[in-house]
Chain A
Amino acid sequence: MMSLNPVQIFKMGAEEEKSETARMSSFVGAIAIGDLVKSTLGPKGMDKILQSSSTNEALKVTNDGATILKSIGVDNPAAKVLVDISMVQDDEVGDGTTSVVVFACELLKEAESLVSQKIHPQTVISGWRKAVDAAREALTNAARDNGNDPVKFKEDLLNIARTTLSSKILTQHKEKFSNLAVDAVLRLKGSGNLDAIQLIKKLGGNLSDSYLEEGFLLDKKVGLNQPKRMENAKILIANTPMDTDKIKVFGSRVRVDAVSKVAQLEVAEKEKMKLKVEKIIKHGCNVFINRQLIYNYPEQLFSDAGVMAIEHADFDGVERLSLVTGGEIVSTFDCPEKVKLGTCKLIEEVMIGEDKLLKFSGVELGEACTVVLRGATQQILDEAERSLHDALCVLSQTVKETRTVYGGGCSEMLMADAVSKLAAKTPGKEAVAMESFAKALRQLPTIIADNAGYDSADLIAQLRASHTSGKHTIGLDMQHGRVGDVAQLGITESYQVKRQVLISGHEAAEMILRVDNIIKAAPRPRAPDHRHH
């Protein structure tokens, strides 16, 4: 009878996957994500084209793991975990977004084979935990700190920038851009405040026409009939309505009984605006920059007073301007003596390509600078911006945490070596898990070599042999397809980034491995989408 029917405890549409099936589905999902971004890893990695489903969005060409993963919609829950760690890596250190996903995925691949050998996930996890500690220790011991020696440190930074950029589209102009990025970051004088570095993209020319501009560029135009060039500018940065100053008292409205009254009110309004402009000019400024619109009437008043007025600088622009020129953002104009004006030596209009921009040079905050990127297509520009942003992030992190490690697969092999040694000493099943951890670490240089089209098995064997015999500076030389001394090749990476890759990759893999049951709620019913037909 009825009691023999299976009892459905979930809602219709809800699903449950148990032990083997659940584990399988997480492994498959995670590995698929790993394989997807795997081919972008390393200096010879390939790019991906991302096309959005909505037609109005331009397509992207990118090599950046975080950007790729952000754009693909994933449904598999384990895959979502990996996408998430990639995002966090991007926010936290800015680079290594692909490595972290690939590492987690390699760990899971190893776990899959261990679990199929009937080793309990918890055993694997406890083995991994010991392995990650060993690897971290090895990495910390191998890190060098040149923070006290400015010349060597700059060399380190240049190397890091070159290493980071070598896997990106900017690799052709690696030298130029790494110098550019290091210059920009060093100007910050250790503050690590990336706000002071502005990236402006202008279509046209080619990548090698890009340059670093001292000071600040604002993509705005000066009002009509106003001076186009201003020396020793005193800048008032404002956030105030310059259209009609509304009365903010709630519920007020104008009710008049004659047309003449309207005219009078209009005059009063105009009067008010004039008063405001006068007050602004009384501050002694000769440049006025407003976040909001400036209507024609006040603009004209400013022209009469010979003040350069710039309207509609967006919020970011205004904040940055106030940062670089040292002025404050002003909204009331009653006590001119208290307002701090921003200053700069020279404001002038410059041409970049076909566009006119305002250039603020000789600003108070010497740290600020602008990188102007030129490129043939929007895609190139976007990708260049992302690459440069990655490099800048890594550099600014390195300025804070000055330790560096060797790249080119060298650090991974070093860690793998340490983990293997520990595994050899450990009795019990955990040793198998540790060995698998080492294997996953070795996969990263393997993938780099594979992507460059070299014989990875041979190269990795050589690498491994050198590391086991104690030569800990040997890594992959992907320019020539052989192993080499990365200390001489100058392939350097930030310690911070490497450590974060290790830790987050392991954290995510552990989290996925611990799962033995996936329960999916019924998807929320949505109204059918009638927009596209």
Chain B
Amino acid sequence: MNQLPTQIAFDEYGRPFIILRDQERQSRLTGIDAHKSHILAAKSVASVIKTSLGPKGLDKMMVGPDGDVTITNDGATILDRMDVEHQIAKLMVQLSKSQDDEIGDGTTGVVVLAGALLEQSEKLLDRGIHPIRISDGYEMAAKIATDKLDEISETFAVDLKEKEPLIQLAMTTLGSKIVNRCHRQMAEIAVEAIMSVADFDRKDVDFELIKVEGKVGGKLEDTMLVKGVVVDKDMSHPQMPKVVKDAKIAILTCPFEPPKPKTKHKLDVTSVEDYQKLREYEKEKFESMVEMVKKTGANLVICQWGFDDEANHLLLQRELPAVRWVGGPEIELIAIATGGRIVPRFEELTQEKLGKAGSVREMSFGTTRERMLVIEECRNSRAVTIFIRGGNKMIVEEAKRSIHDALCVIRNIVRDNRIVYGGGAPEIAASLAVQEAAENISTLEQYAVRSFAEALESVPLALAENSGLSPIHTLADVKSRQVKEKNPFLGIDCLRKGTNDMKVQHVIETLTAKKQQILLATQLVRMILKIDDIRAPNDMSM
């Protein structure tokens, strides 16, 4: 590896002087080289996912380390599955992830923006502007841009009765995904789900109450919203009734098995009497377990653990349908939905702790013997399950991710009801504002601010390019119209509907998501610009 002269010091006899241990075994990049290398890496990450932006964006096929295939359009998922090693690329992946955690949507946009910002800073570096000055300029510009967004935002009436605007919002998010074949249906499902869960007083939505369950088979149109819980389990005994009406559910986390004390112990059987007593005890134990459940008036048992064969049969005999091996999160959901309490001991089971549901039934699919349990008409009707069907595994997975995005967006609007119109319109408006402000800055930062304005244009550019429009031409047109008509809602007409006014097209995005995108991207870029030295073990490919 090339050794930079600055890395080695020499003493007066001309012998090399080792300052850092193992420095010959490390590779090192400093100064402008380091910056250039970072920018290159970030740009190539951005270029990978740039083409999936917008309603006409294309998907990516990801092959996992074990050969499993994922097909997705979701920026966060693409970056997550990408086997990235470069340090800066890893930062970009995290950027997308944090947007996903915080907002849930706009994961592609944020990376594209960060990539563009870095690309612009490369030009500034070439002009000899110090990285810190660039990053300060970006900071100023981000402030101007978000202020502009606040200014052009509109408040959005979240009204339980008026679902139409919300559906429009969800449709904007789902527009870029493969599920847009049943666009409206999916949007309605997402809105319906949030509406039944949302807590309008606290302005929050508890995602725990929404479960997204997928099952391969059928068609996408069969996707439905179940007002209740769907569990991928069936009755423990094939002859138990398949339908329970007016179910009173005992939710147990203790197994129907002979008791196992947790302290280590030994039980010695030394005589025939002992042996017989133990047998009696065992039998009694089973009887009393079932009896205790029965006494509370329960007519359905949901248990986290397994049953002994004998217990299983006893349950059948006492006409007590039961479900075993139900996972922890599912049991919690059932408890919330049915208003029951999770009971860890048989002794503590009382009538008040039972959950109630109008109907519990088994549902079977296709030609195979797969069944699922549907708990409906629960006491607490707020828990819902979105049950997704689709022709193959990948489409079901992708539909799950898309629904999740749509849910996030609707939740955000419940939290903060300010919106901007999408289609690149807010970026163009912000870019114009930043451009204008740049002229008034007397210091060096002026250049950085101007570059920021150019970087903001990358999103509408990519949108236009993906939609098969001539990018620069379209952008120039829209930009000039925004200035001329003083209408900040003009954006890229991706779907060729004949109008550029996004308000008319009902392309809606939340203000928080847009602001977050700009802030997160700026933050990351500032961080990357501050790095001027990388050390890495030499065996890595640098």
Contacts and interface: CB of A to CB of B under 8 A. Distances in A.
B61 A10 contact: no
Interface string A56-99: 00000000000000000001011011001100101111100000
Contacts of B269: 247, 252-255, 265
A507 B181 CA distance: 10
Nearest to B30: A2
B218 A255 contact: no
A261 B270 contact: yes
Given A7-B41, A88-B217, A26 B61 contact: yes
Contacts of B178: 510-511, 514
Contacts of A11: 83-85
Contacts of B20: none
A519 B48 contact: yes
B248 interface: no
A268 B272 contact: yes
* CB-CB nearest 10 A-B residue pairs: A331-B313, A521-B83, A516-B58, A9-B86, A504-B391, A524-B65, A9-B89, A14-B83, A507-B391, A250-B260
B258 A248 contact: yes
A514 B59 contact: yes
Contacts of A268: 272, 275-276
B45 to A, nearest CB: 6
Interface in A495-520: 500, 503-504, 507-508, 510-511, 514-520
A57 to B, nearest CB: 21
Given A511-B395, A514-B73, A521-B63, 5 more contacts: A85-B391, A92-B217, A328-B239, A514-B71, A519-B78
A249 interface: yes
Contacts of A240: 309-310
A519 B272 contact: no
A9 B392 contact: no
A457 interface: no
A332 interface: yes
A219 B310 CA distance: 26
Chain B contact surface mostly: mixed
Nearest to A338: B317
16 contacts: A1-B33, A10-B86, A19-B51, A77-B63, A81-B71, A91-B216, A261-B271, A268-B272, A322-B239, A339-B317, A514-B71, A515-B58, A515-B59, A516-B60, A517-B51, A519-B82
A468 interface: no
A528 interface: no
Contacts of B33: 1-3
A353 interface: no
A185 interface: no
B58 A322 contact: no
Given A322-B239, A396-B367, A521-B83, A248 B257 contact: yes
B527 to A, nearest CB: 17
A253 B267 contact: yes
B239 A249 contact: no
A251 B85 contact: no
Interface in B29-43: 29, 32-33, 36-37, 40-41
Interface in B279-325: 279, 281-283, 286, 308-310, 312-314, 316-317
B58 to A, nearest CB: 4
B83 A122 contact: no
B268 interface: yes
B261 interface: yes
Interface residues of B, number: 91
A155 to B, nearest CB: 23
A264 B272 CA distance: 7
Contacts of B83: 10-11, 14, 519-522
A91 B392 contact: no
Nearest to B45: A9
Contacts of A272: 279
A393 B48 CA distance: 44
Nearest to A256: B270
B367 A397 contact: yes
A257 B270 contact: yes
Contacts of A323: 238
Contacts of B44: 7, 9
Interface residues of A, number: 88
B165 interface: no
Contact of B394 (A84, A332, A335): A84
Contacts of B239: 322, 328-329
**Which of A91, A335, A517 has most chain B Cβ within 10 Å?**
A517
Interface in B54-72: 56, 58-67, 69, 71
Given A120-B468, A122-B468, A10 B65 contact: no
Interface in B144-184: 178, 181
A152 to B, nearest CB: 25
A239 B281 CA distance: 21
A319 interface: yes
Contact of B48 (A396, A517, A522): A517
Contacts of A78: 61
A62 to B, nearest CB: 18
A141 interface: no
A77 B278 contact: no
B237 interface: yes
Nearest to A318: B238
A129 interface: yes
A264 B271 contact: yes
A322 B238 contact: yes
Contact of B84 (A9, A91, A504): A9
Contacts of A500: 219
Contact of B71 (A261, A393, A515): A515
Interface in A1-26: 1-3, 5, 7-12, 14, 16, 19, 22, 26
A84 B278 contact: no
Interface in B238-279: 238-239, 257-261, 264-272, 275-276, 278-279
Contacts of B268: 252-255
A507 B394 CA distance: 11
Given A2-B37, A249-B259, A255-B269, A507 B220 contact: yes
A121 interface: yes
Interface string B405-418: 00000000000000
A10 to B, nearest CB: 6
B41 A84 contact: no
B81 A239 contact: no
Contacts of B51: 19, 516-517
A335 B59 contact: no
A224 interface: no
A515 B367 contact: no
B436 to A, nearest CB: 35
B275 A265 contact: yes
Interface string A98-137: 0000000000000000000000111100000100000000
Contact of B309 (A239, A508, A515): A239
A465 to B, nearest CB: 33
Contacts of B264: 251
A122 B56 contact: yes
Contacts of B29: 2-3
A523 B66 CA distance: 6
A81 B266 CA distance: 55
Interface in B404-449: none
A323 B317 CA distance: 17
Contacts of A508: 391-392
Contacts of B85: 8-12, 14
Given A92-B217, A511-B394, A7 B37 contact: yes
